[in-house]
A and B are shown apart, each in its own frame.
Chain A
Amino acid sequence: MDILEKKTLERLANNVRISIVESVYSAGCGHPGGSLSIADVITYLYFKEMNVDPKNPKMESRDRFVLSKGHTAPALYAVLAERGFFEKEELKTLRKTESRLQGHPDMKGIPGVDMSTGSLGLGISAACGMALSAKVYGADNRVYTIVGDGESEEGQVWEAAMFAAHYKLDNLVLVLDWNGLQIDGPVAEVMNPTPHDEKFRAFGWHVISIDAHNFDEIEAAFAEARTVKGKPTAIIIKSVKGKGVSYMENACEWHGQAPKEDLYKVAMEDLGKIAESLK
C-alpha cells in the first residue's frame, strides 16, 4: 500500500474513532472499547475492500457485512456515516428514543446495515446464510463478518464455523477481534477460547493472523483471503481494546460505558493529536 493511501485510511479510521467517542458520549452509554478496536479493519472494509454504494445501500450485487459483535454498533454507524450512507450529524442520536440508530444494528431502519445483530453468536450464522445463498444463486459477491473474541465462547460460533467449512464458503471472511478483554475481565481468565488459529484451522478454515492496526497487514490479509478456494477464511486481528483513547486502551471497564465530560475531552484530545500527526 502506498504511503498516501495508507495515510488516507488512517485519517478515515481516526475520524471513525472520533465519531465512536462522540456518539457514545452523546448517548451516555454504549460500547466504546470494542468499537475502537475494530475501527481500522471496518474502515478498510468500507473504503477499500467491499463493493458497496452509499447511494444504493440495497444494491443486489453488493458485498455483505454482518457485525456479529453487534454491541460495537458505534463503529459500524461511524463508518457508514463516514462513507456517506447517512449524515454524520445523525450519529449523535445514537440510542435515543427518536433515533433509528438502535443500540444494536437494525437492518430494517438503518441504511447500509445488512443484518440485525446484537445477541452474540447469531451474526456469524447469518453471514454463512448470505454466503451460501450467493453460492447457490451464482452471485459473486463476498460476505464479511466481525466476531468478538469473547463472542467466540458462544457455541453457535463453532456451529457456524463447521457449517461454513462444510459448504466450502470461500466467499466468506470472518474477522476475529482478538482484543483480549470481555465484560468480566481478560478473555483468557473468564473462559479461555484460545488458540483461535488452531481451532479455526481444525474446523477447516484458512487462517491469517495480523496486527489489527496495521493497514499493510490488513490489506495483505484480505488480498490473501480472495485467493483462497474451497474454504472460508478467518483473519485473527490482534487488537488493542479502546485503541486511540489513552485511558481506554486495554482497560476492561471501557467495554460498556460512556465517558463523562472530563474524560470525553481527554478522548477528543487524544484523537485530535492523532489527527494532527496524520496531517
Chain B
Amino acid sequence: MADKKATRESYGAALAELGEKYDFLVLDADLAAATKTGMFKKKFPERFFDCGIAEGNMMSVAAGIAATGKNVFASTFAMFAAGRAFEQVRNSIGYPHLNVKIGATHAGITVGEDGATHQCNEDIALMRTIPGMVVISPADADEAYAAVEASLNHYGPVYMRFGRFAVPNLTSELKNYKFEIGKGVLYREGKDVSIVANGYMVHLAVEAAEMLAAEGIDAEVINIHTVKPLDTELIVASARKTGAVVTAEEHSVIGGLGSAVCDALSENCPVPVIKVGVNDEFGRSGKVPELLEIYGLTAKNIYEKAKLAISKK
C-alpha cells in the first residue's frame, strides 16, 4: 500500500524546496501552520508575508505584487480563498490575468470536525467560472508537488486545491508519470465504464475499479487533476469507448468536475453520466471516515454508481 500524506503537507514542502530554485513571495492569512506555508516561512522569512485575517486584502495585494512582474503565492483555506475572496480573485487577479498562484487548503468535506462553515465544497465551481483561471485538484502528495512546480512554469492565475486529510500516494507507483496542466492521467484502461475522478476521490476510484473487476466489469479510471482547462479529448475518447461515465469528486455535484465532464460530453459524446460528490447540502462536524460514509464519498458508492451508469447505456 502506498504511503499516506495530506496534499497540504506536500504543498508546504514544495514551496520550501522550490523556493531555492524559483524566486517567489508567499502570502498567508494567519493560517501558515495549517496551510503549511509555515515550512516556507521558516526557510525564507524575508519572502513570506502574513496578511492577517484579511483574505480579500491578501488576494488584491497578491495581484499588486504580480503586477510588478514578481511571482507570488497566496494561501488560505479554500473556503476563504475561493469563497470569501471570490470577488478579489475575479477582479484583481482574474480580469487582468495576473500571475498569482492560489494555494487553497482544507478543501472539501475531509476538513472533518470543523464542520460546514469550513468545508468548502464549492471552490472548484466558483474558480472555474473565472476566464483564464487554471483550476487544479491534485490526487495525492506527489501530484500536489508536481502541480506546484508546474504552476511556477505557467504564466497566469492558477487555483490549486489541497486537502487536510492524508491520502495514499498512488502517483509514486505510476510508471512514466508526468504532470502536465490540462492533461488527465490514465490510471487503468477499461472498456465497460469510465470513472473520472480527481483529488481525494482518485484512490477510491481505483478501489472501485478493483471491486468492479472482481465481478468481471472492466472500468477505466482517469484522474482529471486539472478541471480547467479540461482534458476534453481524453474524457471524450474514454466515453466513446465505454459508453458510460461516473465522476467522483470531493466537492458539490453542482459546478465541479462532474459538471465540467457533463459539459464536455453533452456537446461531444452524450452518454449516461452519474455524479458522485457532495449532493446539494452542507457538510457537518465529524470524523472524516464517518463523514465520507455519510456523504457517499466511498469506493462502494462509486462502484454502485458505475453499475447504475452501465445499466443506463
Contacts and interface: CB of A to CB of B under 8 A. Distances in A.
Interface of A: 60, 64, 66, 106-108, 114-116, 118-119, 121-134, 136-137, 139, 155-156, 159-160, 162-163, 166-167
Nearest to A118: B91
A133 B60 contact: no
Contacts of B70: 133, 136-137
B65 A129 contact: yes
B97 A129 contact: no
B90 to A, nearest CB: 9
Interface in B78-103: 87-88, 91-92, 95-97
B163 interface: no
B56 A125 contact: yes
Interface of B: 25, 46-47, 49, 51-52, 54, 56-57, 59-70, 72, 87-88, 91-92, 95-97
Interface of A is mostly: helix
A162 B52 contact: yes
Contacts of A129: 60-68, 72
Contacts of A121: 56
B92 A136 contact: no
Contacts of A167: 49
A237 B23 CA distance: 39
A162 B68 contact: no
The 4 closest A-B pairs by CB, nearest first: A129-B64, A125-B60, A126-B64, A159-B57
Given A107-B96, A122-B91, A125-B92, A132 B64 contact: yes
7 contacts: A125-B56, A126-B61, A129-B63, A134-B68, A156-B60, A163-B61, A167-B49
Contacts of A159: 52, 54, 56-57
A116 B65 contact: no
B91 A163 contact: no
A136 B47 contact: yes
B241 to A, nearest CB: 41
A166 B30 CA distance: 14
Given A114-B67, A129-B62, A156-B54, 18 more contacts: A66-B64, A123-B60, A125-B61, A125-B63, A126-B61, A126-B67, A129-B64, A129-B65, A130-B67, A130-B68, A132-B49, A133-B64, A136-B46, A137-B70, A156-B56, A156-B60, A160-B57, A162-B52
